[in-house]
Structure 1
């Protein structure tokens, strides 16, 4: 599972399996505690849900727990300091990213609905972007409406900030605040509002151009 970046939409606390009418249950060991990151998001066209948990067993024991839950139906990989357990169930694929936390473990549980066809909407659809910009990530949160996009453009941070400053007002966005963004700036930021929406744009020089991260939320 691609790591969910810049997510700050934690919701209700839970203990026990992850429940939903249309999603499979994911068991967790007794005594575990956790919270939702999002109950439903679209990550680059794929429908997903994500939760984070604190487990009272170490990573090896946690892997064994899932191997017993789904005998012969798990794939285990070591990815850096993480152990990743994968399991397919019906139309969904479950990924559990496990890291050591003291004597216990932290686990991020992601459930992805496997697509039956190619997503009809291209990444970045409907979002203003400079010509030639590449959309790297497009995450939409459906349970707590919001959207996070990551883009890469050949423009400088100053040119990128000026692009949005000159065009967003025509779409009804009002500039609330911004950091100075001179010709030698390596990083700058701007915040906009539109009715009940807020958007923050962050521009960072790198990779021969500028990375742009846009966080859009509904109040």
Structure 2
């Protein structure tokens, strides 16, 4: 077993072992069963979600025993093939199971209990390939960088969440997307503005197009404007 203590960014890279934000996958697959002890209760969060082009299955869990009991269980399950990374308040355990990366993210809810997340992703599949088109199909404002592109299917409702960053102002973003989306046939149904010292700091925009709904938020933080766009539509 390998154990490391490091920063969040370093830990994520150590766990994944690759730049997973640049990967993509096409096709259906059967996920392996994730081993869990009998003192853990799991809840499916997303049976079919794609994070920056990578498909995965996500679950939440709660444990009636503390973190160390959970770690001991996975040490027994995975032995020397367990990777143990600490980035408080989280501890991340990971294991390569064939073409899949199995990850346990755990934190203590109190001294006697723990909670966290389980994920399975085909990080080592030969079907994975580089995807240089995060944000494809979305009218990304020129000069913006797509930070996250997450797709999920929940009971026939398909959603896509994009996070983008840019050094342009909130007002510039709001004006650009309002005009661009209206040109694409979207209709504005709501907007909300928050300002400070006459400078636009936060803007919410909701648009619809048929059965599609798009919620957008533009917010300025430390000189950068971040856009969160959530698109929802029937399957």
Q: TM-score, normalised by structure 1?
A: 0.85
Tell me, in whole angstroms, the C-alpha distance in 2 between the residues paired with 1:122 and 1:140. 14
Tell me, in whole angstroms, the C-alpha distance in 2 between the residues paired with 1:200 and 1:66. 40
Show the counterpart of 1:167. Answer: 180
Show the counterpart of 2:8. Answer: none
Report the structure, 1 or 2, having the larger strand content: 2
Q: TM-score, normalised by structure 2?
A: 0.80
Pairing 1:56–2:71 present: no
Report the structure, 1 or 2, having the larger helix content: 2
Show the counterpart of 1:126. Answer: 137
Tell me, in whole angstroms, the C-alpha distance in 2 between the residues paired with 1:121 and 1:36. 30
Tell me, in whole angstroms, the C-alpha distance in 1 between the residues paired with 2:43 and 2:231. 22
Show the counterpart of 1:13. Answer: none
Stretches of structure 2 lacking an aligned partner (at least 5 in a row): 1-11, 14-27
- Which one of the candidate residues 114, 118, 123 is aligned to 1:109? 118
Deviation at 1:28, TM superposition (A): 1.4
The two structures, once aligned, show a CA RMSD in angstroms of 2.0
Deviation at 1:181, TM superposition (A): 6.2
Stretches of structure 1 lacking an aligned partner (at least 5 in a row): 3-19
Deviation at 1:59, TM superposition (A): 0.4
Over residues 176-197 of structure 1, what are the superposed CA-to-partner deviations in whole Å (9 max), with x where a residue is unaligned?
1001366611111011111111
Show the counterpart of 2:94. Answer: 86
- The verdict on how the C-alpha distance between 1:217 and 1:53 changes in structure 2, with shifts beyond 3 A counting, is same
Alignment coverage as a number of residue pairs: 202
